[in-house]
């Protein structure tokens, strides 16, 4: 995976955190730099750590499943993307929006950061299966992009409301599914980029 693909992956992965950050922004009358930085650092930090953990785990098992690794990468990306799409089209609001909870405590932010970054660990496993990935560049891009999107999400939520939350989830889901299809098609020899 090259820089562009990793950047697109980072954008796709950041959409869950972006949507939650919009929800956090909805709870504020005015988004201040401190609140924006808290969301950005919590979400960006966890989104960077989890793919590394997944990559290390995936690397342990890569040789055992080498013949089907592209199918594993495709299945994980497609599953995560499909779940993001399903969540975007469900009628339920996210918990942070429905409760109008303006809590930025360590406990709350830790819980939300872990919840939004579990899929990033699965992506790390996919990256190990895909092979030829600079994991350090990947985690740097994922962390920085998520930090920026999450910080901006707080501001967007405080200014514009929930208008962008579902669109962010849809965009993230589509990006992840398409990246999974690309990995599969490349390994099957149908697509060569």
Give the DSSP letter of residue 2.
-
Tokens of residue 23, six digits? 């929800």
pLDDT at 125 over 80: yes
Residue for token digits 């409760």? 99
Please say if the pLDDT value at position 192 is more than 80: no
- Please give the Cα distance from 132 to 19 (Å, whole number): 31
Contacts of 55 (CB under 8 A, 6+ apart): 124, 125, 127, 128, 133, 135, 138
The pLDDT, as a whole number, for residue 139 is 95
Q: How far is CA 153 from CA 12, 73, 134, in A?
A: 14, 29, 28
Q: Quick one: DSSP state of residue 65?
A: T
Reply yes or no on whether the pLDDT at 141 is more than 80: yes
Per-residue pLDDT at 126 exceeds 80:
yes
Q: How confident is the model at residue 157 (pLDDT cuts 50, 70, 90)?
A: confident
Give the distance from CA 41 to its chain's centroid.
14
Angstrom distance (rounded) from CA 78 to CA 114: 21
Residue 99's pLDDT is 46
């Amino acid at each position: 995976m090259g820089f562009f693909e990793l950047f697109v992956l980072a954008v796709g992965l950041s959409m869950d955190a972006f949507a939650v950050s919009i929800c956090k922004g909805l709870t504020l009358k005015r988004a201040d730099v401190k609140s924006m930085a808290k969301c950005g650092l919590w979400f960006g930090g966890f989104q960077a750590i989890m793919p590394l953990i997944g990559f290390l785990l995936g690397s342990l098992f890569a040789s055992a499943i080498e013949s089907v690794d592209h199918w594993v990468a495709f299945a994980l990306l497609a599953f995560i993307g499909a779940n993001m799409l399903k969540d975007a089209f469900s009628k339920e609001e996210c918990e942070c929006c429905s409760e109008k909870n303006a809590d930025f405590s360590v406990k709350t932010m830790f819980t939300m950061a872990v919840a939004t970054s579990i899929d990033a660990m699965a992506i790390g496993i996919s990256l190990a299966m895909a092979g030829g990935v600079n994991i350090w560049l990947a985690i740097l891009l994922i962390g920085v992009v998520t930090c920026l999107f999450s910080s901006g999400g707080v501001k967007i939520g405080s200014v514009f409301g929930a208008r962008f939350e579902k669109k962010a989830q849809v965009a993230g889901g589509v990006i992840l599914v398409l990246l999974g299809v690309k990995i599969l098609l490349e390994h099957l020899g149908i697509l060569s980029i």
